[in-house]
């Protein structure tokens, strides 16, 4: 059950973040790259082997289930954040769960969420909470 006080509004122009993967793989490989993400989509990444930056032509949705990440800084990826134009008509809401924080983005009447439930099902309780909070405020 969702409670109104779980929804905290936070207005920003983008959800860009840099995350370094810290997953320990069962095969012993350490192919953990550093990613520039816009919500759940990869824009670019820095290879773990030589730290070279690869920019994707098409954004790829990343599945964070069973993987671990830490927020970090990366000079090669930070250049893209500064050069990324701010999205118009975009609102971002910070939603606090029991133990985690998620970001719900409203852009051109479409909602997205950073939780794994949204990336798996395409809907989640965090979006529902934001919609209910917005409707209650009108």
For 64-118, give the DSSP string.
-TT--EEE---HHHHHHHHHSPPPTTEEEEEEE-SS-EEEEEEETTEEEESSHHH
Under DSSP, is residue 54 helix (H, G, I), strand (E, B) or coil?
strand
pLDDT in tens, 7-19: 333 333 356 889 9
pLDDT in tens, 41-88: 888 999 888 888 888 888 888 888 888 888 888 888 888 776 555 555
Query: With contact defined as beta carbons under 8 Å apart, do 35 and 21 qualify?
Result: yes
What average pLDDT does the structure give for the chain?
78
């Amino acid at each position: 059950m969702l409670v109104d006080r779980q929804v905290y509004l936070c207005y920003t122009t983008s959800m860009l973040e840099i995350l370094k993967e810290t997953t320990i793989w069962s095969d012993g490989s350490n192919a953990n790259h550093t990613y520039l993400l816009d919500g759940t989509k990869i824009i670019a990444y820095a290879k773990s082997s030589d730290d070279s930056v690869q920019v994707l032509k098409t954004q790829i949705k990343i599945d964070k289930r069973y993987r671990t990440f830490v927020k970090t800084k990366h000079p090669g990826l930070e250049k893209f954040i500064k050069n990324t134009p701010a999205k118009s008509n975009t609102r971002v809401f910070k939603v606090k769960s029991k133990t985690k924080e998620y970001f719900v983005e409203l852009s051109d009447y479409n909602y997205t969420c950073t939780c794994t439930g949204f990336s798996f099902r395409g809907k989640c309780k965090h979006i529902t909470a934001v919609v209910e909070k917005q409707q209650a405020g009108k």
